[in-house]
Structure 1
Amino acid sequence: MSDATRIRMTLAEFKAMPETSGFVEFIAGEVIVSPTPKYPHQQSVAKIHLYLDGLDLAGEIVLSPMDVYFGEDALEPDVFWVMPGGRCQLGEDGYWYGAPDLVVEVASPSTVYRDRGRKFEIYEEYGVREYWLVDTDARFIEVYALVDGRFERKGVFGKGTEFTSAVLGQTVKVDMLFK
């Protein structure tokens, strides 16, 4: 898969761009256009969304493409959950502002560097309470929880395992996310 295309512009210019169905983020003054995800990535995103939806959580479960604004950055998490009254709010412009309670990123070759790097830092800085990094090839989930303003790695969970999500208040069966 090819690398992402990067274009410098201001946040105001980014917000003035026409809507797109592609994967476009704005980080540190750069528009980052990534290749369309492949089927296994999208299949995982759909399964995670369906699993979370089946938990009957209050609030909103949102799929990409959907911008979430963190200060001067606009990211597109693959899946995120916003609890009622949480820090992330839907703006009048139809975009989300602030830290969702849960962010899930499904790693792909063109995004894994950002998912583990700058996006990880932004999610941590703005107070995302729980971050799941999913590897569809290796079939595991790396789970981070915000503790005293820093992400703490709770573990790597693979086939046949489960973990407790403090944010969701649920035990998550990893096999259900990959079946």
Structure 2
Amino acid sequence: MTIRHTEVPERRLTVDDLENTPDDGRRYELVDGRLDVSPAPKPIHTDVDTRLTYHLVSEAPEEFAVLTGPGVNLRPDGTHHRIPDLAVFDCERPGQGYYTVPPVLAVEIVSPESVFRDNHTKRAEYAAFGVRSYWIINPLPDKAGIVEFRLEDGQYREVTQAYGEEVFEADLPFPVRFVPHWLVASGPWRKNIGGPSEEDCADAE
């Protein structure tokens, strides 16, 4: 489960303090200078992350960087630090340290202990930071789903949902389509994750 420090430390922690955290597979983030620690992801979470990254990389124009688990400083003082499961940037990689600008897209893959954080806490944080598009993926083995939010007037508005074998389509950060089912299902996911081709659709008609 997620571990939050309930007592306010004598001083607020910054990303410099994260250099002293153990390399134990857990994820160490900062919220207002306090540690927010999550356990190592389960295999289904890792599968979704790997498959979606693979697919987005194959579809992304050259000017975009598709990254798994990039560190992002949401505040200049380094006291608010998040690590989205996946993010897409349209800027140069920082010369040192972490990203300090909003990604075009942030993706979070829900786990049992992250439901509130992904749907409420991070949703508010990413909106305030200026992340233009936010995807929340629920990796249910029987019916995986995705919800897409777009930033409008400083708030996220839900624009798309797709579940199971429905085809999810988005045009931000770049045109992409995929089938949530193939983020989690066994079988030839590389062949099927993008959904039916235009030729298949034409044949079906």
Q: For the aligned residues, what is the CA RMSD?
A: 1.9
Instruction: Give, in angstroms, the shift of residue 151 of structure 1.
Output: 0.6
Alignment correspondent of 1:100: 103
Alignment of 1:22-171 (within 5 A): 22-57=26-61, 58-64=63-69, 66-71=70-75, 72-84=79-91, 90-137=93-140, 138-171=143-176
Identity %: 23
**Higher gyration radius (CA):** 2
Letter in 2 for 1:39: P
Q: Which AA in structure 2 matches 1:67?
A: G
2-structure distance, mates of 1:81, 1:167: 10
TM-score by length of 1: 0.85
Q: Is the 8 A contact 1:35 1:110 kept in 2?
A: no
Q: Which runs of 5 or more residues in structure 1 are unaligned?
A: none
TM-score in terms of structure 2 length: 0.75
Structure 2: 5+ residue runs without aligned partners? 190-205
In terms of fraction of residues, the more helix-rich structure is 2
Indicate how the Cα distance of structure 1 residues 17 and 163 shifts in structure 2: closer, same or farther if over 3 A, else same: closer
SS at match of 1:154: strand
Q: Is the 8 A contact 1:61 1:82 kept in 2?
A: yes
Q: How many residues in Structure 1 have an aligned counterpart in Structure 2?
A: 171
Q: Is the Cα–Cα contact under 8 Å of residues 140 and 174 in structure 1 kept in the other structure? A: no
Q: Separation in 1 of the partners of 2:105 and 2:122?
A: 14
* C-alpha separation in 2, matches of 1:161 and 1:155: 12
Give, in angstroms, the shift of residue 69 of structure 1: 0.7
**Aligned amino acid, residue 15 of structure 1:** D
